[in-house]
């Protein structure tokens, strides 16, 4: 059961809602059904290594991109 983000086209309200199956969604503020699904980013916790292509990749103990203490 995913959580989706929406923006109401009637009143501009941004909200998240847990969607069960093909449930019809309406704005919690104005009850409009004229909604736009927003593109959501997701987060992960507990990840030990940086993802490929991540700009934060590199050595934390020296100024090199990689060294023996990074591996």
pLDDT by residue (tens digit) across 26-50? 999 999 999 999 986 665 566 566 5
User: Does the pTM exceed 0.85?
Assistant: no
Within a domain: residue 24? yes
In a domain, 51, yes or no: no
Domain count, the chain: 1
In a domain, 32, yes or no: yes
Task: Kindly give, in sequence order, each residue whose CB lies less than 8 Å from that of residue 55, ignoring residues fewer than 6 positions away.
Answer: none
* One-character DSSP codes across 16-57: EEE--TTPPP--TTT----EEEPP------S--SPPTT-TT-
Give pLDDT, residue 1: 63
* Residue at 65 is within a domain: no
In a domain, 55, yes or no: no
| In a domain? residue 61 | no
Asked if residue 56 is part of any domain, the answer here is no
């Amino acid at each position: 059961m995913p959580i989706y983000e929406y923006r109401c086209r009637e009143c501009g309200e941004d909200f998240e809602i847990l969607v069960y199956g093909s449930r019809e969604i309406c704005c919690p503020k104005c009850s409009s059904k004229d909604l736009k699904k927003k593109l959501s980013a997701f987060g992960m916790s507990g990840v030990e290594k940086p993802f490929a292509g991540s700009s934060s990749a590199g050595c934390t103990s020296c100024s090199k991109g990689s060294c023996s203490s990074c591996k």
